[in-house]
Chain A
Amino acid sequence: DTEVTQTPKHLVMGMTNKKSLKCEQHMGHRAMYWYKQKAKKPPELMFVYSYEKLSINESVPSRFSPECPNSSLLNLHLHALQPEDSALYLCASSQDPRRTSGRTSTDTQYFGPGTRLTVL
């Protein structure tokens, strides 16, 4: 099973709202990722969790707050967002690429369907 689920599919929020995006995987993967994707652009990495610990934060503004409650779940808490934060937010999971040296197909990142976020 290579399924990653994300909720909600669509989200509209005002600049003063607080909301959360959720991501779940049951593939036994120990690395989970948040990406932001603008239209017609490749995804931009935001955060990486490895074994439930934040290992990469790509200089993301503090209005985005990630959380990894357990190895299957990843949340992204949103607060005081700006209209330019409107985008598709993708969650992904993979085996932890740092576990061994040498790249293999188990490094493949599997993505969820995404959440389309609109900030008014």
Chain B
Amino acid sequence: AQKITQTQPGMFVQEKEAVTLDCTYDTSDPSYGLFWYKQPSSGEMIFLIYQGSYDQQNATEGRYSLNFQKARKSANLVISASQLGDSAMYFCAFLMDSNYQLIWGAGTKLIIKP
């Protein structure tokens, strides 16, 4: 069965440091999409970044980049120069070609310390 794993339930990081949030997935589908979302305490689920399985380049969006290692089935989110406003829950999610329901990881709670 397809699944997605976020191994870090919580992380504390000093402001301005870079952060790597881990995400691994398991699928035999050749075509899939990987998504990262941020959910602050307000509750809104904010889309951050997308990586397609056939994309040749790692995705980047501003301070967010995705370290995509297809052979290892990992899609780690890197946040450069963390800010206090980055404190939130972060979810990795996965969409297969054969099934168009998002499969979610358990999430990582990130706290940025001043």
Contacts and interface: CB of A to CB of B under 8 A. Distances in A.
B102 A113 contact: no
B62 to A, nearest CB: 15
A112 B95 contact: no
Contact of A103 (B31, B91, B101, B109): B31
B46 interface: yes
Interface residues of A, number: 28
Interface in A85-120: 88, 90, 92, 97-98, 101-105, 107-114, 116
A114 B47 contact: no
Contact of A105 (B33, B42, B46, B53): B33
B64 interface: no
Chain B contact patch, size range: 20 to 34
How would you classify the secondary structure of chain A's contact residues: helix, strand, loop or mixed? loop
A88 B43 CA distance: 8
A102 B54 CA distance: 9
Contacts of B89: 40
A112 to B, nearest CB: 7
Given A42-B106, A108-B35, A114 B44 contact: yes
Select the residue from B50, B54, B102, B104 with max chain A CB neighbours within 10 A: B102
A48 interface: yes
A109 B48 CA distance: 11
Contacts of B96: 103
A13 interface: no
A102 B97 contact: yes
Contacts of B95: 97, 103, 107
Lowest 4 A-B CB distances belong to which pairs? A42-B104, A97-B100, A103-B33, A111-B45
Interface of A: 2, 31, 40-43, 45, 48, 56, 88, 90, 92, 97-98, 101-105, 107-114, 116
